[in-house]
Amino acid sequence: MIKTHTAPYGIALLRVSLGVLFLAHVALKIFVFTVPGFVGYFATLGLPAVAAYGTIALELLGGIALVLGVYAPWVAVPLALEMLGTIVLVHGHNGWLFTDRGGGWEYPAFWAISLVALTLLGDGAFALRPTQR
């Protein structure tokens, strides 16, 4: 049974947590790998530079939107697709465990599933711009 009186707070916790994780993830790309380094990495995958810049923008803007609760269920969809893309293009061949060399696909899969759950659940409490039902 769903606890309807506390469910919006649980959803908000999920939404904000996912947003903070994306902000930390994009900070890693910008400040540790550097933007040119990340663009170069995308080139090694056979992807155009614009895809690297798009990924950075998606994670930055998507993370902010999730934290603030601005159309969160809609924002979660492209972020989930990005995570599925990382499984296919980057982590899938490294094995299951994220601790495997090169990082396996367990963490991106869990992240994608969490984003799909958020899409199904809605914005939760404290959303600045909740989606209409």
Q: What is the pLDDT of residues 94-109, one digit of tens each?
A: 888 878 888 888 999 9
Residue 81 lies in a domain: yes
pTM surpassing 0.85? yes
Residue 3 lies in a domain: no
At which residue do the structure tokens 């893309």 appear? 85
For residues 89 and 41, the answer to whether their CB atoms sit within 8 Å is no
- Residue 109's nearest CA partner among 97, 118, 124 is 97
Q: Return all residues near 116 (Cβ < 8 A) that are at least 6 apart.
A: 76, 80
Residue 129 lies in a domain: no
Share of the chain above pLDDT 90, in %: 83
Can you give the residue range of the structural domain that contains 56?
10-121
At which residue do the structure tokens 């972020």 appear? 79
Cα–Cα distance measured from residue 58 to residue 74, given in angstroms and rounded to the nearest whole number: 12
pLDDT above 60 for 85: yes
Count of CB atoms situated within 10 Å of the CB of 132: 4
Share of the chain above pLDDT 70, in %: 98
Please report the pLDDT score of residue 18 as a whole number.
98
Mind listing the pLDDT tens digit for each residue in 32-77? 999 999 999 999 999 999 999 999 999 999 999 999 999 999 999 9
Residue 131 lies in a domain: no
Residue 95 lies in a domain: yes
Residue 126 lies in a domain: no
Please report the pLDDT score of residue 2 as a whole number.
87
Residue 17 lies in a domain: yes
Please report the pLDDT score of residue 92 as a whole number.
84
pLDDT above 60 for 133: no
**Encoding tokens for residue 112?**
């994608």
Domain count along the chain: 1
**Encoding tokens for residue 36?**
């040119």
For residues 8 and 124, the answer to whether their CB atoms sit within 8 Å is yes
Q: What is the mean pLDDT of the chain?
A: 94
Please report the pLDDT score of residue 132 as a whole number.
66
